[in-house]
Amino acid sequence: MLTRKQHELLTFINEKLSETGVSPSFEEMKEALDLKSKSGVHRLISALEERNFIRRLPNRARALEILRLPDAMKAKPAPRSATVVPVKGPAAAPPSAANPPSAANDVLEIPLHGRIAAGMPIEALEGQNMLSVPAALLGPGEHYALEVTGDSMVEAGILDGDYALVRRTENARDGEIVVALVDDSEATLKYFRHEGQMIRLDPANRAYDPMRYKPNQIRIQGKLAGLLRRY
């Protein structure tokens, strides 16, 4: 049997999924149940998971799936899953148990590893933060994000404060935008090109000059896969 609070939370989640197809936030759940902190919500969610009433969908922000409902609630079936709608993308049909939201609307969480210079190289800061990203912006492979600082890539549409979404790779072809680690200490976001026996990192701003390095000075850390901008 569920406790009163567990039943209230399950009812609230079910109603939100039925109405919008999007899981309520922890703040919304806290307010709906008149709890003092979000830790109480976490405990209730965990209890419902242990009893196989709901499950959290991995690597998705604010995504819960209702596995079953108490007999008293079965008159109101919930959609199978819910995800955050991407920042940009086609409008989805209203979700239902027979027509759950498309996986293209998923939001993934990828590591946010500090800042990356789009001007002169700066130290690449490693961090433990995560960034929620619409799955539609990412292709196959492992990804991470870096916050852009500087203006040397503005002519490529990459602005100061943007989040560069980077696919991990150690290889790049001429003309690709890469995260290049210089002398194992500084990282920069630039166009990658070979120039004779040298590696040339080109900005996308005529106010900046290309930077040239010996091949052993440069290690490719990834290629630009997408860009996220917050307003």
| CB of 187 closer than 8 Å to CB of 125 | no
Which of the residues 76, 190, 214, 223 is marked catalytic? Answer: 190
Instruction: Tell whether the model's pLDDT for residue 112 goes beyond 80.
Output: yes
- Domain assignment of residue 131, given as a range: 109-228
How confident is the model at residue 72, as a pLDDT?
Answer: 57
Give yes or no: 190 in active site: yes
Q: Does 142 share its domain with 83?
A: no
Q: Does 125 share its domain with 86?
A: no
Instruction: Name the residue among 132, 57, 125, 136 with its Cα closest to residue 89.
Output: 136
Q: Does 120 share its domain with 208?
A: yes
- Output the furthest CA–CA distance in the chain (Å, rounded): 74
Last residue of a domain, one of 78, 101, 124: 101
Q: Does 123 share its domain with 221?
A: yes
CATH number at residue 123: 2.10.109.10
Question: CA 203 to CA 214: how far, in whole Å?
Answer: 18
How confident is the model at residue 79, as a pLDDT?
Answer: 38
Q: Does 121 share its domain with 211?
A: yes
- What are the distances in angstroms from CA 70 to CA 26, 33, 49, 73? 22, 19, 14, 5
pLDDT tens per residue, range 45-85: 888 888 888 887 765 555 778 888 876 555 444 333 333 22
Q: Does 120 share its domain with 220?
A: yes
How confident is the model at residue 60, as a pLDDT?
Answer: 55
Which of the residues 23, 30, 81, 152 is marked catalytic? Answer: 152
CA torsion, ordered 48, 53, 57, 62, to nearest 10 deg: -60
Instruction: Tell whether the model's pLDDT for residue 195 goes beyond 90.
Output: yes
CATH number at residue 21: 1.10.10.10
How confident is the model at residue 122, as a pLDDT?
Answer: 53
Q: Does 137 share its domain with 220?
A: yes
The structure's pTM equals 0.54
Q: Does 211 share its domain with 145?
A: yes
Q: Does 144 share its domain with 224?
A: yes
Q: Which residues contact 174 (CB under 8 A, 6 or more apart)?
A: 192, 193, 194
Q: Does 45 share its domain with 128?
A: no
Last residue of a domain, one of 76, 101, 126: 101
Q: Which residues contact 98 (CB under 8 A, 6 or more apart)?
A: none
Q: Tell me the β-bridge partners of 107.
A: 134
DSSP per-residue string spanning 163-231:
EEEEE--S---TT-EEEEEETTTEEEEEEEEEETTEEEEE-SSTTS--EEE-GGGEEEEEEEEEEE---
Q: Does 136 share its domain with 202?
A: yes
Q: How many CA atoms lie within 13 A of 186 on its CB side?
A: 12
Range from 106-115, 124-133, 145-154, 168-177 carrying the lowest mean pLDDT: 124-133
Question: CA 125 to CA 74: how far, in whole Å?
Answer: 50
Q: Does 128 share its domain with 220?
A: yes
Proportion of the chain above pLDDT 90, given as a percent: 27
- The tally of domains found in the chain comes to 2
Instruction: Name the residue among 204, 197, 116 with its Cα closest to residue 217.
Output: 197
E strand map for the chain: 54-56, 64-66, 107-117, 129-134, 143-149, 163-167, 177-182, 186-195, 198-202, 211-213, 218-228
Last residue of a domain, one of 69, 84, 101: 101
Give yes or no: 152 in active site: yes
